A and B are shown apart, each in its own frame.
Chain A
Amino acid sequence: HGVRRTRDTQQALAAKRERDKAKLSAYLVLTDDILIRACTLSLLHNLFTRTFKKNKDWSREAFGLTTQLLSTHTDVINPEFYTIWNYRRNILLQRYLSGKVCHPPHISIIRSPFILRSSPDEIHEVLDNDLAMTTKLLKVHPKVYWIWNHRRWCLEHIPEGPNSANAQAWRLSTWERELFIVEKMLEADSRNFLAWDYRRYVVASMPARRSDKAELAYTTKKIEANFSNFSAWHQRTKVISSLWASGETDKASSLQKEFALVQNAMFTLPEDQSAWLYHRWLIGSGDDKVILEREIEVVQTLLAEQPDSKWCMDSLVTYKLLLLNNHLHVGSQESINVTKQCLALLAQLEEIDPMRRQRYHDIG
């Protein structure tokens, strides 16, 4: 509960300028260095293509070079320079993960069959180090695909261990930790969709399955913390679908609860897209007439409260069209009324949302 210690804006700016200056001069000093390294890298490349075919000796220096470039000089070297990541993995493969076949590939997590030469302890240690390194990098660059990829690769190559009695221990703890780390990242930025996607991957790959209900609770927590969050709602669609499919949750009652939850978000902040999109997903193809008509009512109530809400009007048009197409007889009085209502709404939409006039016009 401490007070975040902030500096006076002027001071902060001045300090930042100093830091940037320092970085810049370091960068300039390094530029020459980098040119040399770039040459080294292309040399490496040549070395790689040549030695891969001939010789399996992998210099420690090459590995060290990639470490330096990726972790020491993150300010200067772009971590999205994926070539370096690839080299690193190749070196790892060649240096640590080559040798005779020791285990039959019944370990489903591991995608690429590989051959072990180094001891499992060594492999575990080296991969652990890489995971630690990427964790640090993620704090600075939380949205770089290549760092997440490298983590996936490391995770998938964690060997069995530490011993045959405790064969899954390393993997269990590594994956658990992975979940913890990604959830920490989501706490820092709950809208980092890379992290959400990565989390789905972790949850699917973990040796210990997490229940769908626990997953649902997690999305609830995230939505309550801040419901303007596409990813949390999106995750919910996946989890709920799975719960319905497996029969673990009764679809009818769960659907009621979901509508209540999303209506809450819609009424609190009608400008927020994510809630509307979730609502659309819940309506789906509009097969259930009762639900469809009920939700149209709800949206109409909201529109009465907030007459300028674009999303209300847009959703009403969408849902009424569904009603028209699925449940109303062509030419019936009701269908004529609904058509009129839609056209009126579309006219309003053209006015308040001129950027999308053509779309509304087309729908009309």
Chain B
Amino acid sequence: MTDLEGNFDVIILGTGLVESIAAAALSKAGVKVAHLDQNPYYGGDEASLTLDELARWADVRSESSENSGKSSSYLTAQRSKFTSISRSGVIPDHSRHYSISLSPTLIPSVGPLISSLIASGVSRYGGYRLLERVGIYSSNSGLQNVPGSKEDVFKSTLSLIEKRRLMRFLVFASGDFEVSKELQGHEQTAFPEFLASQFSLTQEMVNAIVYALAFCSSTTDATLPAMTRLRSYLRSSGRYGASPFLVGHYGGLGEIAQGFCRVSAVNGGVYILDKKAEKITAPLPASGEKFVVELDDFPEPLTADVLIAAPDQLPTGLCPPAQTASLSIIARCTVVIDKPIPFPPLLSSGEGPSEDEAESAPAAEEGDDTGGLTSNSTTQPEASVEAPPIDTSVIVFPPGSVKGGSSTRVAQAFTTGAGTLSAPQGKWKCLFRYVVYLSSPVADGEDPEQLLKPYLDTILSLTDVSEPLFKVVYTQHVSPSSALIPTSTQSSILVSPALPPHLAEISDSASSVAERLFFGVVDTLKAKNPEAWTTETPNGESSSGDRFVELKVPMWPLMEGPGEEEE
């Protein structure tokens, strides 16, 4: 449809997760996409980096603007997004074998991102691991397992009454509670208060539910949104295994963004990394002219009808006004340690299997009537003594759980090891490496290292590690908003909003936002070139033509190709 090589339908600036999902969907729909990123890697603020890359990332952003001379608008934006950066000086060996995520995430097994992964085929490009364990820490009892299913509750060490009450709540939480009498009038009550009063749950159980099952970030989170989140997690459990959450290999979202970019490329998307957009000329509204993007060191400018951009990657002139409403500030401390975090074993109630196992072995060996023919092994040997170390886990520190820690805010420690291919694994099982992502909400100006130190110390003492092998600390400023930000009423620039920095919500937010971007672009393109969409050219047919209320289905056209095997 185009004569000029550099002419596209859409130019996308930034290969963050949202932009990458949109790129893949648009390319699949036949839209001509040019996808650019200033960085030499995919993923933007969700990227997966090796240790060397992470060190460089930290160094570049911690330089002050005066010293580095004239810096791009991207770096300026990044420097206000990531502040108070510090890192350890020495980079451990095998840097390449680490995939550290700038946006560590749990992916719910049922939700928009999983659906997009499957429908687009990106799920075939990568591997995923079930979250193995969720723990909660308290100063009295240390680290405890958090039960999430009826089997967990059955096996836990709670009292009988506590088990009943917990189960009753979990059943309530999985159902249609919006119309229940328990919830009426309490929708905006603080969630911990609601649980204690309506379900007679102990403080311990309230903490577990609020912070380790619903992943609330403070004591004042409202009940209804928390319950809604909790329900979606409960309904996610069982799809791929007991846990509702998957963790992506190679740092999760960075790898996934790359996968979507690959889909886009396979369907005609053009990729240009590591080049700054020196100058972007926006056309006057309703002029019929196109955007012109001039790249550093690039012979020809690129033109397009529509521009999608991550706000950081837009030149200052075109940037939307800074959104300060609902600003979230997160302190992050990412460390590498060489020992696993020991979780208490999942005990059975009543008789322990280890007891029976230990007794059955000698009983068999004592010999019996059939003259020494004994079956010495139970068909599936129980690992009753040595359970394998937990590779992928989340530990929640409720307010007031750690001496020196916050009494109003929650901290989380999300750990991934070699099982998620984000850390190296020793050939002779003597090399253990785990990446621990510590995070907590923080107030503006507060020192992230000091805030997170008590939690880091707790982890180190649990694992019996004196010093982490590597550490990066920084504060992340996020201004999420739910609306796509048009920079003017007639503009064809769509800016992807930042995502809420919530451990289990980022991934689905990203997918939902990408979907709105997709349809936003489609609408704009149709408005500009209505003829193109009514003909039967590849540009106009298939998914984008349909305008159903249920938007998910047409966004990804049906896949042909070899049938996928059920695992």
Q: Are B373 and A11 in contact (CB under 8 A)?
A: no
Q: Is the CB of A183 within 8 A of B379?
A: yes
Asked whether, in the complex, the Cβ of A7 is within 8 Å of the Cβ of B564, the reply is yes
A1-B127 in contact given A209-B368, A218-B378 (Cβ < 8 Å): yes
- Can you list 26 A-B pairs with a CB-CB distance of less than 8 A? A1-B127, A1-B128, A3-B240, A4-B566, A6-B118, A7-B118, A14-B558, A176-B375, A183-B380, A208-B370, A209-B374, A210-B364, A211-B364, A214-B375, A216-B360, A217-B378, A217-B382, A221-B380, A224-B155, A227-B154, A263-B160, A264-B154, A264-B160, A267-B160, A268-B153, A269-B167
Kindly identify, within residues 216 to 234 of chain A, every residue whose CB is under 8 Å from any CB belonging to chain B: 216-218, 220-221, 224-227
Q: Which chain B positions have C-beta within 8 A of A208?
A: 370, 373-375
Residues of A close to B375: CB separation below 8 A: 176, 206, 208-210, 214
- From residue A143, how far is it (CB to closest CB) to chain B in Å? 21
Q: How far is the CA of A10 from the CA of B118 in the complex (A)?
A: 13
Q: Which of these binds chain B: A145-153, A299-307, A317-325?
A: A299-307
Residues of A within 8 A of B (CB): 1-8, 10-11, 14-15, 168, 172, 176, 179-180, 183, 206-211, 213-214, 216-218, 220-221, 224-227, 248, 257-258, 260-261, 263-265, 267-270, 301-302, 305-306
Chain B residues, CB < 8 A from A213: 356, 359-360, 363
Interface residues of B (CB under 8 A from A): 115, 118-119, 123-124, 127-130, 150-151, 153-155, 160-161, 163-165, 167-168, 239-240, 246, 348-351, 353, 356-357, 359-360, 363-364, 368-370, 373-375, 378-380, 382, 419, 553, 556, 558-559, 563-567
Q: Is the CB of B360 within 8 A of A257?
A: no
Q: Which residue of B lies closest to A221 (CB)?
A: B353
Is B163 a contact partner of A5 (Cβ separation < 8 A)? no
Max chain A CB contacts within 10 Å: which of B118, B129, B153, B368? B118
**Least Cβ–Cβ distance between B428 and chain A, in angstroms:** 23
Report A342 CB to chain B, min CB distance, Å.
24
Residues of the B chain whose Cβ atoms lie less than 8 Å from the Cβ of A263: 160
Do the beta carbons of B118 and A5 come within 8 Å of each other? yes
Min CB distance, A181 to chain B, in Å? 10
Q: Which of B124, B356, B379 contacts A216 (CB 8 A)?
A: B356
| Docked-complex contact B369 and A209, CB < 8 angstroms | yes
A11 near B374 with CB under 8 A, answer no
Q: Are B118 and A261 in contact (CB under 8 A)?
A: no
Count, A-B residue pairs, CB within 8 A: 143
Q: Are B350 and A257 in contact (CB under 8 A)?
A: yes
Q: How far is the CB of A215 from chain B (nearest CB, A)?
A: 8
Q: Which A residues are in CB contact (< 8 Å) with B359?
A: 213
Task: State A208–B168 Cα separation when bound (angstroms).
Answer: 46
Q: Are the CB atoms of B566 and A261 closer together than 8 Å? A: no
CB-contact partner of A257 in B129, B351, B567, under 8 A: B351
Residue of A nearest to B375 (CB): A208
**Is B124 in contact with A5, judged by CB distance below 8 angstroms?**
yes
Considering the chains assembled together, what is the distance between the CA atoms of A217 and B380 in angstroms?
11
Contact indicator A214/B161 (Cβ below 8 Å): no
- Docked pose: A6 CA to B115 CA in angstroms: 10
Contact B164 A220 (CB under 8 A): no
Minimum Cβ distance to chain A for residue B337 (Å): 22
- The 3 A-B residue pairs whose C-beta atoms are closest, nearest first, are A261-B350, A217-B356, A5-B564
- Give CA–CA (A358, B85) in the complex, Å: 75
> Would B154 and A224 count as touching, CB distance under 8 A?
yes
CA A224 – CA B348 in complex, angstroms?
7
Are the C-beta atoms of A220 and B356 separated by less than 8 Å? yes
Q: A217-B360, A257-B350, A260-B350 are in contact. List 7 more A-B contacts (CB 8 A).
A: A1-B128, A1-B130, A4-B566, A14-B558, A179-B379, A207-B373, A268-B164
Whether A168 lies near B373 (C-beta < 8 A) is yes
- Which residues of chain A are within 8 angstroms of B124 by Cβ–Cβ distance? 5
Contacts of A15 in B (CB 8 A): 563
Q: How far is the CA of A69 from the CA of B113 in the complex (A)?
A: 46
CB of A4 within 8 A of CB of B378, answer: no
In this complex, the member of A176, A217, A263 whose beta carbon has the largest number of chain B beta carbons within 10 angstroms is A217
- B422 CB to nearest chain A CB (Å): 14
User: Given A210-B375, A220-B356, do A305 and B150 touch, yes or no (CB 8 Å)?
Assistant: no
Known: A3-B567, A180-B379. A264 touches B118 (CB 8 A): no
Contact present for A305 and B370 (CB under 8 Å): no
Q: How far is the CB of B420 from chain A (nearest CB, A)?
A: 9
Question: Which of chain A's residues has its CB closest to B249's CB?
Answer: A1
Verify B240–A209 contact, CB threshold 8 A.
no
Which residue on chain B has the smallest CB distance to residue A11?
Answer: B558
What are the residues of chain A within 8 A of B370 when measuring CB–CB? 207-209
A226 and B127 CA atoms in complex are apart in Å by 28
Chain A residues in 8 Å Cβ range of B357 = 217
Chain B positions within 8 Å of A183 at CB level: 379-380
A267 touches B563 (CB 8 A): no
State in angstroms the CA–CA spacing of A248 and B380 once bound together. Answer: 23
| Known contacts A5-B567, A209-B368, A10 near B553 by CB under 8 Å | yes
CB proximity of A25 to chain B, nearest CB, Å: 19
Bound Cα distance from A209 to B154, whole angstroms: 31
- Closest Cβ neighbor of B160 among chain A residues: A267
- For the complex, give the distance between the alpha carbons of A231 and B177 in Å: 34
Residues of A within 8 A of B378 (CB): 214, 217-218
CB distance from B20 to the nearest CB of A (A): 19
Name the one of A3, A210, A220 contacting B128, with C-beta atoms under 8 angstroms.
A3
Would A267 and B161 be within 8 Å (CB), given that A4-B567, A11-B558 are in contact? yes
Q: What is the CB-to-nearest-CB distance from B237 to chain A, in angstroms, rounded to a whole number?
A: 14
* Closest Cβ neighbor of B419 among chain A residues: A1
Q: Of B119, B353, B380, which is within 8 A of A220 by CB?
A: B353
Complex-state Cα separation, A205 to B564, whole angstroms: 42
Task: Give the docked Cα–Cα distance between A226 and B566 (Å).
Answer: 23
Decide yes or no: A268 and B567 within 8 Å by CB, A168-B373, A260-B349 being known contacts: no
B161–A305 contact, CB under 8 A? yes
Whose C-beta in chain B lies nearest to the C-beta of A306?
B164
